[in-house]
Amino acid sequence: MTDAARPTPRIDCRIAAVAHHLPARVWTNQDVIDAHGLRLKDAWVRENIGVRERRWCEPGETTSSLAAEVCSQLLVKTGLTPAHVDRLIVATVSPDVPTPSTACVTQSLFAPEENFPAVDVVAACGGFLYALDYGRRCVQTGDERVLVVAAEIRSAFLNKQDRRTVMLFGDGAAGVLLERTRGDEVGIVDTQVFAEGSHWQAISVPAGGTQRPTSAETLANHEHSITMRDGGSIFERAVDEMAALTQQICAQHGVLIEDVSFFALHQASARIVRRVCELLGVPESKTRVDFETLGNCTAASVPLVLSLAAEAGQVQQGDLVVAVATGGGFTAGAALFRWELP
């Protein structure tokens, strides 16, 4: 057989490190109520929304500064330098500026002397799964090391008088370093991403783009803030889709739900996470419910769950993990992988 005819060896990808960064300032429900003169009660928010506090950034903190901190942590954990990075992918819907990418600004903060590719992925709460899918494919087609980070400052895009959204969202960042597998490692078995764009208006920031350019009217109407239509149907859809996506990716690879050791579920609400667990028939001990203390951190939600679980020892080397999220767009994604970190 000639060299040209020899099959190309399969390249697999693993998570080599995970890290997160949260703003220092904790905002309780009462802090938000007092700061913005809201006619709400802390007890009502806890009972009906399910959150008691969240992290919001202070002036001077940016999405890129959160992402850069995660990148730096990932490199320290693996003993690498920015010179070892082949690519940076940042998932966000709260960019520093409309252009250029937040990834480019992030690169300027933690790797100012390097010139590897840096790009944003915009897929709302499904953003990390989209970025993970992209990063895995990059490793499988030639990159040695890819940083995949999700960072959000959703507090910058909230109408603080909108009782439907002001309590829901938090700020934060988390991510992973992807590398090629070694020896008998399995790493990432599969990533799957989807979109159903006909529902894009259900959760959106209506103004500031070409469809509704910034104007005195859009500013006065708070159209540069997150709007949600029909929260009840969004809840039901998120529950059904996350459960279905989990079942689908497991079934396609011959994995039983009970064989999965940990489920990294998007924290759209505590009720959604618990309802998905009920539908799948898995104990809550196989996931984390951080919504009460972090709120919905959009694209950063899933990697935050992974990083906090790793920090708490909830995932061990050799564990099978499923990560799944749905978000505005509608976007959705799922990943199945074996945890290879000791």
- Give per-residue pLDDT as tens, 248-267: 999 999 999 999 999 999 99
In this prediction, residue 9 carries a pLDDT of 60
pLDDT, averaged across the chain: 94
As a whole number of angstroms, the distance between CA 165 and CA 48 comes to 13
Of the residues 21, 29, 277, 296, which is catalytic?
Answer: 296
As a whole number of angstroms, the distance between CA 154 and CA 160 comes to 11
Which has more pLDDT, 231 or 142?
A: 142
What's the rounded mean pLDDT across residues 279-308?
Answer: 97
Of the chain, the percentage scoring pLDDT greater than 90 comes to 90
Of the residues 104, 138, 250, 266, which is catalytic?
Answer: 266
Active site residue 125: yes
What's the rounded mean pLDDT across residues 308-336?
Answer: 96
Question: Crossing angle of helices 270-280/231-252, nearest 10°?
Answer: 40
pLDDT tens digits, one per residue of 175-202 = 999 999 999 999 999 999 999 999 898 8
CB 323 within 8 A of CB 174: no
Active site residue 199: no
Mean pLDDT lowest among 198-202, 214-218, 322-326? 198-202
What's the rounded mean pLDDT across residues 34-63?
Answer: 96
In this prediction, residue 8 carries a pLDDT of 53
In this prediction, residue 236 carries a pLDDT of 80
Q: Is the pLDDT of residue 336 over 90?
A: yes
In this prediction, residue 196 carries a pLDDT of 93
pLDDT tens digits, one per residue of 104-151 = 999 999 999 999 999 999 999 999 999 999 999 999 999 999 999 999
Active site residue 36: no
In this prediction, residue 1 carries a pLDDT of 44
Of the residues 125, 138, 277, 297, which is catalytic?
Answer: 125
Q: In the structure, what pLDDT confidence band is assigned to residue 231 with cuts at 50, 70 and 90?
A: low
Six token digits for residue 3: 């060299």
